[in-house]
């Protein structure tokens, strides 16, 4: 199989109507914070047990087409000895890998950040492929204030995202491009729209410069939403503004847009996705790539106890099913109670 046909095959498997991605790629510090909320120590065995619980959930592949894993997880096995990427693939879930090495302050740009990890990326991707990964993810972060992000941050992060995407495609790995405009702050939804538009314009200019094949990538943006310390916009307003900014910036050649939940509650993230999919027909498949918005309910149910695995898996399956309905514009808030 040629690299192009292999990339196309992976994209086709990931972009299926009514399916989305499970983001289970939390770094060490992030998963430690999540575990702290349930009183569980973040050691390798608990992390393995948690990700085993997620990927062994019977029926998950009906709603989830891909899973983003952390490097540690790529090399771990289930309680029955099956490598976790293989466990995902057995349910028709494509295994992927987070490849960036986190963010650091951007020099000469106070308050702005840049993502690192390009050095040695091609070699790392070759190893990840041998472990079963078929796609990758790289996250760039944009802080909002009246003056941030600055031009330097917008351009530097776009160039890094495009470099990463080009290296992935060369290696036969589908890149997920994630430019996350953060919710943190008291900015209005109008300011969120303005920054998101500037960021996405620059990202696609950079992707073009680096000759990235748009048909063989996915975009993972945040929704256009007011800052967490500002007044909330209506579900319909978030949906309209987000779709409008995508129409202005994202070429129709991109096969799928998989939103991050970015600090929204599980219910908000599902309702916003549903409202977008109720709008007029769009050129891209609009779906989800949620971490906390899928994992929070099952995590609270699990509490690190083997006796709670079944109830936690039921909670995960419920959220996956509701988000599947949202991908098809068929979610109704009453489902939260009916299926509770």
Pairing verdict, β 113-115 and 103-105? antiparallel
Lookup result for tokens 């470099």: 163
Tokens for 247, please give them: 């129409």
Cross-strand bridge partners of residue 23: 68
What is the chain's length?
Answer: 340
- How buried is 10 (Cβ within 10 angstroms: 0-12 exposed, 13-18 middle, 19+ buried)? buried
Q: Which of 19, 98, 137, 220 is catalytic?
A: 220
For 274-322, the DSSP string reads HHHHTSS--SSEEEEEESHHHHHHHHHHHTT-GGGHHHHHHHHHHHHHH
Lookup result for tokens 């879930």: 93
Cross-strand bridge partners of residue 69: 24, 97
* Cα–Cα distance list, 125 to 19, 97, 133, 279 (Å): 25, 9, 8, 38
The whole-angstrom separation of Cα 290 and Cα 67 is 10
* Cα–Cα distance list, 208 to 11, 114, 217, 277 (Å): 19, 20, 12, 28
Cross-strand bridge partners of residue 305: none
Q: Which of 178, 180, 202, 325 is catalytic?
A: 178
Q: Are 203 and 161 in contact (CB under 8 A)?
A: yes
130 included as an active-site residue: no
Cβ neighbours for 208, distance < 8 A, ≥ 6 positions apart = none
**In a 3-state reduction of DSSP, which class is residue 280?**
coil
* Cα–Cα distance list, 299 to 25, 39, 41, 83, 251 (Å): 15, 11, 13, 22, 37
**Could you count the other beta carbons within 10 Å of the beta carbon of residue 113?**
21
178 included as an active-site residue: yes
Element of type H or E holding 331: none
Tokens for 278, please give them: 């109720």
**Known catalytic residues?**
178, 220
């Amino acid at each position: 199989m040629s690299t192009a046909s292999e990339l196309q095959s992976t994209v086709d498997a990931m972009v299926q109507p009514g399916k989305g991605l499970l983001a289970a790629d939390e770094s060490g510090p992030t998963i430690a914070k999540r575990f702290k909320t349930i009183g569980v120590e973040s050691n390798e065995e608990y992390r393995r047990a948690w990700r085993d619980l997620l990927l062994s959930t019977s029926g998950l592949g009906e709603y989830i087409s891909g899973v983003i894993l952390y490097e540690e997880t790529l090399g771990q096995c289930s309680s029955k000895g099956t490598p976790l990427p293989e466990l995902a693939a057995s349910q028709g879930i494509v295994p992927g890998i987070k490849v960036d090495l986190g963010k650091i302050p951007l020099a000469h740009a106070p308050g702005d950040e840049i993502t690192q990890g390009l050095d040695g990326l091609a070699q790392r991707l070759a190893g990840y492929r041998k472990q079963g990964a078929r796609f990758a993810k790289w996250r760039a972060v944009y802080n909002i204030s009246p003056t941030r992000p600055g031009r330097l941050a917008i351009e530097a992060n776009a160039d890094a995202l495009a470099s990463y995407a080009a290296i992935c495609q060369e290696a036969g790995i589908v890149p997920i491009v994630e430019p996350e405009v953060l919710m943190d702050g008291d900015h209005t939804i109008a300011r969120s729209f303005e920054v998101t538009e500037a960021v996405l314009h620059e990202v696609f200019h950079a992707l073009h410069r680096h000759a990235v094949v748009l048909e063989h990538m996915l975009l993972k943006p945040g929704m256009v939403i007011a800052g967490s310390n500002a007044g909330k916009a209506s579900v319909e307003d978030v949906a309209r503004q987000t779709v409008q900014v995508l129409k202005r910036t994202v070429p129709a050649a991109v096969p799928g847009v998989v939103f991050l939940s970015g600090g929204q509650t599980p219910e908000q993230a599902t309702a916003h996705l549903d409202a977008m999919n109720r709008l007029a027909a769009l050129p891209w498949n609009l779906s989800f790539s949620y971490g906390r918005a899928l994992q929070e309910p099952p995590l609270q149910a699990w509490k690190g106890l083997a006796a709670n695995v079944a109830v936690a898996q039921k909670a995960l399956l419920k959220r996956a099913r509701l988000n599947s309905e949202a991908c098809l514009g068929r979610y109704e808030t009453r489902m939260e109670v009916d299926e509770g």
